[in-house]
Amino acid sequence: MISIPPTTRDHPVWLHVGTLLDGTSTSPVHDAHVVYDAAGIRFVGRNGQTPPAASMRPGQTAPDVVAPDATLLPGLIEAHAHLFLEGGELDLDKRAAYLKQDAAGLLSSAMPRLEKLVRLGVIAVRDAGDKDGVGLALSSCARESRSRGRGRREFSGRIPGGEHAATGQPSALSLDPMPYLDSPGAAIHHRGRYGSFMGGALEDYASPADCVAARIAAGADRIKLIPTGIINFKLGAVTTEPQMTVEELRQLVAAANATGRQTFAHASGDAGIERVIESGVDSVEHGFFVRDDQLARMRDRRIAWVPTFAPVQLQVDEAVRYKWDAAIVGNLQRILDQHAASLVKAHALGVLIVAGSDAGSCGVAHGMGFLRELELMQRAGLPPLAVINAATGVSAGRLGFGENFGRIEPGALSRFILTKHPPHETVAHLRRAKTVVFDGRVYESDDTPDVTGL
Select from 365, 341, 354 the least CA-distant residue to 304. 354
Domain identity same for 429 and 386: no
The pLDDT value recorded for residue 149 is 58
| pLDDT tops 70 at residue 202 | yes
| pLDDT tops 60 at residue 170 | no
**pLDDT tier for residue 94 given thresholds of 50, 70 and 90:** very high
pLDDT tens column, 331-373? 999 999 999 999 999 999 999 999 999 999 999 999 999 999 9
Residue 452 included in any domain: no
**pLDDT tier for residue 177 given thresholds of 50, 70 and 90:** confident
Domain identity same for 264 and 290: yes
Q: DSSP letters of 277-320?
A: HHHT-SEEEE-TT--HHHHHHHHHTT-EEE---HHHHHHHHTTT
**pLDDT tier for residue 3 given thresholds of 50, 70 and 90:** confident
Q: Which residues contact 452 (CB under 8 A, 6 or more apart)?
A: none
* Least confident piece of the model among 26-30, 177-181, 404-408, 425-429: 177-181
Domain identity same for 94 and 18: no
The pLDDT value recorded for residue 2 is 83
Domain identity same for 57 and 80: no
pLDDT tens column, 268-278? 999 999 999 99
pLDDT > 90: percent of the chain: 86
Residue 267 included in any domain: yes
Domain identity same for 157 and 23: no
N-to-C CA span, the chain:
24
Q: DSSP letters of 263-277?
A: EEEEE-SHHHHHHHH
The pLDDT value recorded for residue 141 is 85
**pLDDT tier for residue 6 given thresholds of 50, 70 and 90:** confident
Domain identity same for 50 and 145: no
Domain identity same for 173 and 303: yes
The pLDDT value recorded for residue 303 is 98
pLDDT > 70: percent of the chain: 93
Domain identity same for 50 and 104: no
Domain identity same for 19 and 129: no
Give the CA dihedral 421, 423, 426, 428, nearest 10 degrees: 80
Q: Residue 160 is part of a domain; what is its CATH number?
A: 3.20.20.140
**pLDDT tier for residue 8 given thresholds of 50, 70 and 90:** confident
Q: Which residues contact 415 (CB under 8 A, 6 or more apart)?
A: 74, 75, 123, 124, 405, 437, 438, 439
The pLDDT value recorded for residue 172 is 39
Domain identity same for 246 and 322: yes
| pLDDT tops 70 at residue 169 | no
Domain identity same for 48 and 162: no
Residue 344 included in any domain: yes
- Please give the average per-residue pLDDT across 177-192, as a whole number: 95
pLDDT tens column, 270-304? 999 999 999 999 999 999 999 999 999 999 999 99
Q: Which residues contact 442 (CB under 8 A, 6 or more apart)?
A: 4, 5, 6, 435, 436
Residue 450 included in any domain: no
Q: How many domains does the structure of the chain reveal?
A: 2
| More confidently predicted of 446 and 171 | 446
Look up the domain containing 58 and give its range: 13-75+406-445
Integer Cα distance of 272 and 278 in angstroms: 10
Domain identity same for 49 and 119: no
Residue 355 included in any domain: yes
The pLDDT value recorded for residue 21 is 98
